[in-house]
Structure 1
Amino acid sequence: MTAERAIEWIDLGHMHYDEALERQLARSRALLAEQDNQQTIYMVEHPPTITIGRNGTTDNIVASEAFLEENGFTVRHVDRGGDVTYHGPGQLVVYPVLHLAPWNNDVKAYVRNLEESVIRSLATVNIHATRHADYPGVWVGDAKICAVGARVQKRPSGEFVTYHGIALNLNTNLDHFSTIVPCGIRDKEVTSVAKELGEAVDFSDWQTRVKAAFIEVFNEQGLYQNERKV
């Protein structure tokens, strides 16, 4: 084991989208400048937030500005791939800020591994989740349970650095998705762990489940991890 492969898992608790994004950007800038090789994964829960990716458009926000303002929604254009998505209470958001050298610098494999981590975590409670042939993310039947989106940049050495990540619906208020056309897909639904199980679930328990699946999928079972609450 080398220090550059150690992952620091940081629980940000409930944090505004802008602050969590700045944490990611600061860490990714350090990696891109090759100031260090520290691998970091943030876990966080956001207040109601609509983000528009580089391939997105405000046309896919169907709620009025007045409604969004009255209900405390934030709207942000962001530099990840994809279209429009929603973050909010009861949704587990995971932001890996990693350089991909330990994983063969393979971006496509990295995204597949993110999806696989969620699929395996859901399997622990007998939710059968899969990839969709036409769309990214993780699906239960024709309903999306987890969005996946990443921003990838290259270091001078040629190694890729990634940030943004996954958003898994746990106890999420699914009515909030009616404010948008999720990911620009008009003929699909969204779901949550709570909906699939028929009862609310424990947020911290799911942090543990997703983390364990991530470590397993990325083949880092023996990796030193330093965890702290911020």
Structure 2
Amino acid sequence: MKKIVWVNNLGLIDYLKSWEYQKYLFQQLINKKKCLSFKDVSQRNVGYLLLAEHPHVYTLGRKAKYDDYILLSTKRLNQLGARFYQIDRGGNVTYHGPGQLVVYPILDLESVFRDIHKFLRDLEEVVIRLLSLYGLSCDRLLGETGVWLDVGKSSARKICALGIKMSNWVSMHGLALNINTDLSYFNQIIPCGIKGKGVSSMYQELGRKFSMEKVIFEFQNIFSDVFKVYCLPSNIFFH
């Protein structure tokens, strides 16, 4: 019997607000696992999938330093209308903004598969399959997370970034796929801490804008297939 993942499309939402919501759901799953009466790791409801866009924001991993990866002052950042948060995921710095699909899988991996490496590779696989629907041939880059174009060439560039947090085999944070993203905001950082590599978007590669709703629909279908779960609309009301 397939497991269920509850899906909530948050639309364009402030990063801090979505982060608080993530932490709430994350802790709910952990508390459930720690409950003495909870013994059935084969439970059917295994977590949540949050989908969002954010106003301009830069986020920095918990161990990274601002001056090492962000190339503008806090004053200039404010002038750009962007915010900054140091958060509790791994990795270095990334940018989120309108036209970028951000996906937060908050899953109990013990009820799906107990393998963090597989979890990351499967998230990449969802994006690789999704982009292939649009004629983009993407792959993984050895030693790096995320999804890339022109792997093995000097023109290699990232189109999707990954960064997660894991505790008690429950995940949070996730991936960011550049769809209609304004890539100029990446000029202010060293994306994901990788020097000498560019970033791209579906718009940049294919020369047209895409429907976020259509991409989200396709993402959910592929996610269901790769993770062998049912993605169902959430009945949780979010303030």
TM-score > 0.5 by shorter chain: yes
DSSP 3-state at the match of 1:95: strand
CA apart distance, 1:104: 2.1
Q: Deviations over 1:58-114 (max 9, x none)?
A: 121102222210121110001111000100011000001110023221111111100
Pairing 1:149–2:163 present: yes
CA apart distance, 1:38: 4.9
CA distance in 1, matches of 2:25, 2:54: 19
CA apart distance, 1:56: 1.9
CA distance in 2, matches of 1:33, 1:6: 19
Read off the aligned partner of 1:45 and give its amino acid letter.
Answer: E
What residue in structure 1 maps to residue 233 of structure 2? 226
What residue in structure 1 maps to residue 6 of structure 2? 8
1:86-101 aligned at under 5 Å gives the runs: 86-101=95-110
CA apart distance, 1:186: 1.3
CA distance in 1, matches of 2:206, 2:214: 15
Aligned-residue RMSD, C-alpha:
1.6
CA apart distance, 1:224: 5.9
Pairing 1:81–2:103 present: no
Contact 1:14/1:44 (8 A) holds in 2 = yes
What residue in structure 1 maps to residue 15 of structure 2? 17
What residue in structure 2 maps to residue 217 of structure 1? 226
Q: Deviations over 1:168-205 (max 9, x none)?
A: 00000000001111011110000001111111111111
Contact 2:93/2:191 (8 A) holds in 1 = yes
Count of aligned residue pairs for this structure pair? 221
Q: Structure 2: any 5+ residue segments left out of the alignment?
A: 39-44, 151-155
Contact 2:140/2:148 (8 A) holds in 1 = yes
Residue from 54, 58, 62 that aligns with 1:54: 62
CA distance in 2, matches of 1:98, 1:84: 23
CA distance in 2, matches of 1:182, 1:75: 14
What residue in structure 2 maps to residue 157 of structure 1? none
DSSP 3-state at the match of 2:131: helix
What residue in structure 2 maps to residue 70 of structure 1? 79
How much identity, in percent, do the aligned residues show? 36
TM-score (norm 1): 0.91
CA distance in 2, matches of 1:210, 1:140: 19
What residue in structure 1 maps to residue 182 of structure 2? 173
TM-score (norm 2): 0.88
Residue from 24, 27, 49 that aligns with 1:26: 24
